[in-house]
Amino acid sequence: MSIYWFTRTAASAARLYKEGQKGWGAVAEYSALPHGVAVFPGDAGVRRIAEREHNVVHWSEFGRGGHFAAMEARGLLVQDVRAFLRPLR
């Protein structure tokens, strides 16, 4: 909590919880924008649920890394983001 207090980012960090109050399973508007998903160990990624509301054009699952992939498996994440963006140029 201190990091949010000291950096004055508590409001933006709490946004996730506010948005999470929406009813689970409620029908959401479909987003046709291309989405890429990277699932690292410890994170839940259910493709059929993601595809119900998003245009998933790139899906990757990794055997190492974790919830903080940018710190734990930086190289894998960078390669995956590049692979997602390359066809969208």
For 58-74, how does the pLDDT look when each residue is reduced to its tens digit (9 = 90+)? Answer: 999 999 998 899 999 99
Q: Is residue 86 part of a domain?
A: yes
Question: Is residue 25 very low, low, confident or very high in pLDDT (cuts 50, 70, 90)?
Answer: low
Question: Is residue 13 very low, low, confident or very high in pLDDT (cuts 50, 70, 90)?
Answer: confident
Q: Is residue 4 part of a domain?
A: no
Q: Is residue 15 part of a domain?
A: no
Q: Is residue 5 part of a domain?
A: no
3-state secondary structure of 52: helix
Q: Is residue 59 part of a domain?
A: yes
Residue 75's domain comprises 29-89
Give the DSSP H or E segment for 35. Answer: strand 31-39
Q: Is residue 7 part of a domain?
A: no
CA distance 17 to 30: 21
Instruction: Tell the residue number behind the tokens 């949010």, with chain if given.
Output: 4
Q: Is residue 61 part of a domain?
A: yes
Note every long-range contact of 71-78, with CB atoms under 8 Å and residues 24 or more positions apart, other chains counting. Answer: 72/40, 73/40, 77/38
In the chain, how many domains are there?
A: 1
